[in-house]
Amino acid sequence: MDSDRLYDIFIIGGGINGCGIARDASGRGLSVSLAEMNDLASATSSASTKLFHGGLRYLEYFEIGLVRKALKEREVLLSAMPHISWPMRFVLPYHSDMRFEGETPTSRLMNVFMPWMRGRRPAWLIRLGLFLYDHLGGRKILPGTRTLNLRMDPAGQPLKRKFAKAYEYSDCWVEDARLVVLNARDAAERGAEILTRTRVTGAERTGDHWTVTLERGGRTETRRAKVLVNAGGPWVEKVVRGIAHIETQESIRLVRGSHIVVPKLYDHDRCYFFQGEDGRIIFSIPYEETFTLIGTTDMDHGDDPAGPVCTEAEQDYLCAFASNYFDKPVTRDQVVWTYSGVRPLYNDGAKSAQAATRDYVLSLNSEGPPILSVFGGKITTYRKLSEAALAKIAPFLAPARGDWTAGVALAGGDFTVGAAPSLGAMLKLDHPFLSDYTCRRMARAYGTEAAKIVAGASRAEDLGRAFGAGLTEREVDWLMAKEFARTAEDVVWRRSKLGLRMTVEEIAALDVWMKERAGA
């Protein structure tokens, strides 16, 4: 029985950090068990702005090391997952009223040496920041910054006429929830035990190991492990104090980031980086072909990480912010979906949520069998975080393989950057009964594995029941067998975003079918 087995590592938390560590550790030959109380990526890791980025605005806080680390990772990750991640160009419109965000280190220097600017961001400073952004990370694939004339470039068409100039730079898009699931799947294929919908109710040091108590499917189970990794995300502090019963001086700052989705606002495929007159920033991003994603907010969230929602005030704020740039106002009645996540930032005593560090802190307690707690972090640096976590706990485990994940493709990602559209075209050629949209979507979601999902089908009926928006029984079976999906919500809001295209009735019918399938 697994309760008798002594694992090398037990991981609490099925977000990007937990699943990233599980994958890395399993690939080193270590035995791993991971428990997630809900679905994989059901909290913060599916509620990001969906970007692999260096964090341009962090340069104002002199977070040079964090930005360099993230920039180096962009292309490493892009090469390993060109189906769920791809390059994007970001347009940063400039106007003379742009201001710094509160009291940043850069703004304080500017106030001393250029007091006549009165908190405004000069164009030369933005261009300097973009020059650093282009060169800090050893960029090889992504194109560099260029200046746009918004009177001539299509990017200026949807904007107010007062914006005549912009800078265009590179970052990357990522399907965040799929990134988590594919890391978990890779870990499982390398031997890890991945337990979803499994709540950890207790963990205690028992001699030379941890005994972890679980609740799964109405039953109580235990696991034993030499090392406990606390990747609880917003619950990391609660795990330390309430589950492992360890007193700590370290804490997290819960910051809520909310987003809105509206019908497509413009025809080109570039994103916008908007700066407000208060210094804050938001992105406007082409989303799921026929929508636009706008976010994020940065609000202190309090102590309860459960159930964050995008409030009416946040929706109004994002609409008003975007309307300062777009010629046609963005209004609340356009909003078709919202989502919100709580980021567990390491509490470094910053005055504002925007100023709190986005870098991670790994805290090791080795007063007995070790526990490693992960505070903070960015989705872009999850792989480096995983390597650092394994380095921290390596002294407590038998010798294992060294770092290995750089450049190793996730499932379906074994093709060159930029070739996903060709995969979609091949899928359409081989299966002409599939819609163009479904072929594009499946190529982006599954990469080279999309052909395996529909293999042998020569007509729509061969794929089984149609649930709506191109989702079929064959695909849902794949998601249940390979990607840990158990409910309709798992499928239409995390493994995909088909919830934007399916009716409430279609989603409910899918949920009933999946529950019957799981119980069969």
Q: What's the rounded Cα separation, in Å, for the pair 69 and 139?
A: 12
**Is residue 108 very low, low, confident or very high in pLDDT (cuts 50, 70, 90)?**
low
pLDDT of residue 316: 97
In this structure, how many other beta carbons lie within 10 angstroms of the beta carbon of residue 160? Answer: 15
pLDDT of residue 107: 63
Across 411-419, average pLDDT:
96
**Is residue 350 very low, low, confident or very high in pLDDT (cuts 50, 70, 90)?**
low
Across 274-302, average pLDDT:
90
Across 5-19, average pLDDT:
98
Q: What's the rounded Cα separation, in Å, for the pair 372 and 390?
A: 10
Checking if the pLDDT of 110 tops 70, the result is no
Query: How does pLDDT run across 13-27, given as a tens digit for each residue?
Result: 999 999 999 999 999
**Cβ neighbours of residue 428 closer than 8 Å, sequence gap 6 or more:** 434, 436, 439
Query: How does pLDDT run across 149-169, given as a tens digit for each residue?
Result: 999 999 999 999 999 999 999
**Is residue 58 very low, low, confident or very high in pLDDT (cuts 50, 70, 90)?**
confident
Checking if the pLDDT of 93 tops 80, the result is yes
Query: How does pLDDT run across 134-150, given as a tens digit for each residue?
Result: 988 888 899 999 999 99
Q: Facing residues of 172 across strands? A: 52, 87
User: Could you tell me which residue, 154 or 343, shows the higher pLDDT?
Assistant: 154
3-state secondary structure of 449: helix
| Residue 311 identity (one-letter amino acid) | T
Q: State pTM to two decimals.
A: 0.94
pLDDT of residue 253: 87
Query: How does pLDDT run across 226-262, given as a tens digit for each residue?
Result: 999 999 999 999 999 999 999 888 888 899 999 999 9
**Is residue 306 very low, low, confident or very high in pLDDT (cuts 50, 70, 90)?**
confident
Structure tokens at 428: 């359409």
Checking if the pLDDT of 1 tops 60, the result is no
Q: Say if residues 279 and 269 touch (Cβ distance below 8 Å).
A: no
Q: What's the rounded Cα separation, in Å, for the pair 333 and 412?
A: 38
In the predicted model, what is the mean pLDDT of the chain? 92
pLDDT of residue 37: 97
Checking if the pLDDT of 358 tops 90, the result is no
pLDDT of residue 299: 86
The 3-state DSSP composition of the chain as helix, strand, coil percent (nearest 5) reads 35, 25, 40
